[in-house]
Amino acid sequence: MPTCFAGSNESSHTAKWGNTFRRRFRRRLRKSAGLKILYIGDTVATAGRAMVRMQLRELQREHAIDFTILNCENAAPGNGVTPSMADEFFDLGVDVLTSGNHIWNKKEILPYLNKQSRILRPANYPPGNPGRGLVVAKTRDGEPVAVLNLQGRVFMPTIDDPFRVADTELATISAEVKVIFVDMHAEATSEKVAMGWYLDGRVSAVIGSHTHIPTADETILPNGTAYQTDAGMTGPYFSVIGVMKEDAINRFLTQMPTRFEPASQDVRLNAVVIDVDGETGKARSILRVQKK
């Protein structure tokens, strides 16, 4: 009987190590197979949110997406985002929300920024502001992905230096986290391009937001960072960057204050799909995506 008992322990011990080995093997296999990131550009007002509801699940299936990021700073009519809108994005399957200078427009979002770590504001706002600019979240398979949100200063509010803040924030990320995505929310294309080169080889991707116009310059930089100057908006393109064209034209003609109303026609979803080597964090491909 004792011999049989010992044999049972040994069998259990072997099975335990066998299961551990298989889990580690599957994890390594997943990493070598690549990790697919979907980034959805500035989502604008009611029309943009409706397009995300309609297209997100199919996009995730079509491209075998492991991790989804969406810029939400224009999700509410008149800019900004509310807690209920953020919660809806998470319920739809978005893993991390990024933003920009309009994140502060809805005051009810301020306490939410401190409570929900998966919604970011640009990291280079001065210390003491609500929220954070960096998060490490996990895919459904448990792989860590770091997301860093930065904001430019050219033709934008004068805040802290995004280049030096990027250095500081990246230094806090564990060496075990290989996949790092950067949303560079900026007006000037030169500032975005400079950030791409500055971070080349240190992050998996630098994708621009804010201008609402998709650019055709997607590339893999020499040291393995995927780059695109702007992913474009998810919203109505029969408009001037998302607002009624008549309102925008009137502002240019008169230079008088004008209330901008969100447009609703020709709604498109603009996004980027990035395939990242999970072992090295280097990007293997980048694909522009547009859905109508």
The model's pLDDT over 112-155, given as tens digits with 9 standing for 90+, comes to 999 999 999 999 999 999 999 999 999 999 999 999 999 999 99
Residues 254 and 173 in one domain: yes
- Is 102 assigned a catalytic role? yes
Dihedral sign, CA of 203, 165, 78, 156?
Answer: negative
Residues 24 and 88 in one domain: no
Tell me how far apart the alpha carbons of residues 31 and 177 are, in angstroms, rounded to a whole number. Answer: 12
Residues 24 and 76 in one domain: no
Residues 28 and 147 in one domain: no
Catalytic residue among 13, 63, 102, 212: 102
**What is the pTM (predicted TM-score) of this model?**
0.86
Exposure letters 79-92 (e unless 16+ CB within 10 A, then b): bbbbbebbeebeee
| Number of domains the chain contains | 2
Q: What domain range is 220 assigned to? A: 34-291
pLDDT digits (tens, 9 = 90+) for 230-286: 999 998 886 777 677 787 888 888 898 877 888 677 789 999 999 999 999 999 999
**Are 113 and 121 spatial neighbours (Cβ–Cβ below 8 Å)?**
yes
Residues 232 and 278 in one domain: yes
Q: Is the pLDDT of residue 43 over 60?
A: yes
Residues 232 and 251 in one domain: yes
The CATH number that applies at residue 47 is: 3.60.21.10
Using DSSP, state whether 277 is helix, strand or coil. Answer: coil
The predicted pLDDT at position 251 comes to 84
Task: Quote the distance between the C-alpha of residue 113 and its chain's center.
Answer: 16
**N residues, the chain:** 292
Residues 92 and 237 in one domain: yes
Element containing residue 291 per DSSP (H, E): strand 283-291
